[in-house]
Amino acid sequence: MNTTDEQRRGLYAAFKSKDTRFDGRFFVGVSSTGIYCRPVCRAKMPKYENCTFYKTAAEAEQADYRPCLICRPELAPGRSITDATTALAHRAARYIEENCGSGMDLENLAGRLGYTGRHLRRVFQTEYHVSPIGYRQTCRLLLAKNLLTDTDLPIIRVATAAGFGSLRRFNDAFKTHYRLSPSALRKQASGGSKGQDATTLTLGYHPPYRWRELCGFLAGRAIPGVEKVDADEYLRTVQHTNTKGEQIYGWVRVRQTPGKTSLQVTISSSLLSVLSQVLARVRHLFDLYSEPFTIADTLQSMNDIKPGLFVPGIRVPGCYDPFEMVVRTVLGQQITVKAATTLTGRFVQTFGLSTQQSFGGCDRVFPSPERIIEEGDLLTDRLGAIGIIASRSKAIYLLAQSFAQGSIDLSPGANPQKEIKKLMALPGIGKWSAQYIAMRSMGWPDAFLDTDYGVKKALAAFSKEDIAQLSDSWRPWRSYAVISLWNSL
């Protein structure tokens, strides 16, 4: 991180304060110990002259620092989408985090993002001060460290889950970067989840976190057979495709960690081969990249409209599966949330794959786009039989085709304006639906549903022109403004 002496002293002051607002925004390399820490680390405070500041964990590791065993840099929350001065670098970083367990090379990654490998390397180096390959290596090592510290998985399974092709490569990488073996690190760590059927890991976030409000939103929209939500935990079935092209099925449970700024994520052992994908989806679903105080600087003005309208820590609920989200959105058009939940439950019972056993009441996997396409001309009749009208049947079929062909990208970090235009070009997808999908599926923080009934009701005292002016003052966090308006009802 290129900084002036004044900036370094400011970062040191932030490090000394242990303020959670700075967690994940930078890392501190300590030359006297050879380790790097999060700014919230509670270890003995090092001297200013022994500190070097880095933008990412990967940059600190590239400078030959090892991760601290006390503050555990692998648990640091991520950064908001608006922090990246280069959208391409941000998209690439998120994609690397999600797919660090796969064997995708740089050229394939760049091609998926629509650029050359050379351009991606240049942009990534400028934004994060480390190469994409170096960033991926750090993601793999930190994921492995998390598994070694928090679970009792055999080391060979840790290596595989973190994306290392062999145990020898894993051991070599660990010794090179951290100067100790995986088994030695495990001995130094405390605890670890027991049991062969599930693995529990920890994901950090920037506090405060309005957990109850988020769970309340998800609970009202939980898909029968697929999701179960209450005030304390979220449970669902999932499916993924591994590096061999095989369909992997399992379940995920998420809880807030009592007294800590993190979530506990428990996954079935069947999902270990796609662990990085699962954790990335959970981060997106629970909006763990959000930075509440940054958002509050802009949205605190909402309280001039009504005291308590905006509360720091509000999250925008994401989604686990984009196709699931768009189907749910289509089925929810012009009907109540409860009616949409009922229809989506029927949809899952008709087309979803049975898990053969129930996980806390969840016994179905949401159907894939390919499963819907298989129905062909029969789809309209089958959907009609469960109360879904022909126009929405057509929209669902066309969306399934778009997903299967890869012509629409609704993953977090995708270009929202570009994908919104594609969505609105499809029959049955209007402005409200496209903005809602962008907000929840792509993690777009600046979506605004000006035609939404709840938004208009919450702002009933304002004209259409006044609402437009207000929403402009809430950029680039208008999605959080929408959630706040809904919560006020």
Q: What is the pLDDT of residues 119-174, one digit of tens each?
A: 888 888 888 889 999 999 999 999 999 999 999 899 999 999 999 989 999 999 99
Of 456, 246, 219, 260, the closest CA to residue 361 belongs to 219
Amino acid at 405: Q
Quote the mean pLDDT of the chain: 91
The residue written with tokens 């092209």 in the block is 245
Asked if pLDDT for residue 210 goes beyond 60, the answer is: yes
Q: Which pLDDT score, from 0 to 100, does residue 234 have? A: 98
- Residue 451 to residue 468: CA distance in whole angstroms: 11
Asked if pLDDT for residue 191 goes beyond 70, the answer is: no
Q: Which pLDDT score, from 0 to 100, does residue 85 have? A: 42
Domain 5-73 fold is DNA Methylphosphotriester Repair Domain (3.40.10)
What 3-state DSSP class applies to 229?
strand
| Local confidence band at 110 (pLDDT 50, 70, 90 cut-offs) | confident
Helices 322-331 and 337-351: crossing angle in degrees, nearest 10, is: 120
Q: What is the pLDDT of residues 211-265, one digit of tens each?
A: 999 999 999 999 999 999 987 899 999 999 888 888 999 999 999 998 999 999 9
Domain 322-488 fold is Endonuclease III; domain 1 (1.10.340)
E strands present in 311-397: 353-359, 362-365
| Local confidence band at 194 (pLDDT 50, 70, 90 cut-offs) | low
Other Cβ atoms less than 10 A from the Cβ of 360: the count is 12
Domain 198-273 fold is TATA-Binding Protein (3.30.310)
Q: Which pLDDT score, from 0 to 100, does residue 84 have? A: 42
Q: What is the pLDDT of residues 80-104, one digit of tens each?
A: 655 444 567 878 888 888 888 877 7
Q: Which pLDDT score, from 0 to 100, does residue 427 have? A: 93
Q: Which pLDDT score, from 0 to 100, does residue 3 have? A: 76
Instruction: Note the CATH number of domain 81-150+153-188.
Output: 1.10.10.60
Q: Which pLDDT score, from 0 to 100, does residue 83 have? A: 46
What are the structural domain ranges in the chain?
Answer: 5-73, 81-150+153-188, 198-273, 322-488
Q: Cα-flanking dihedrals φ and ψ of residue 251, to 5°?
A: -140, 155
pTM of the full predicted structure?
0.89
What does the DSSP assignment read for 34-83? TEEE-TT--SPPPPGGGEEEESSHHHHHHTTPEEPTTT-GGG-----GGG
| Local confidence band at 195 (pLDDT 50, 70, 90 cut-offs) | low
Tokens for 239?
A: 């499916």
Q: Which pLDDT score, from 0 to 100, does residue 196 have? A: 62
Q: Cα-flanking dihedrals φ and ψ of residue 472, to 5°?
A: -65, -35
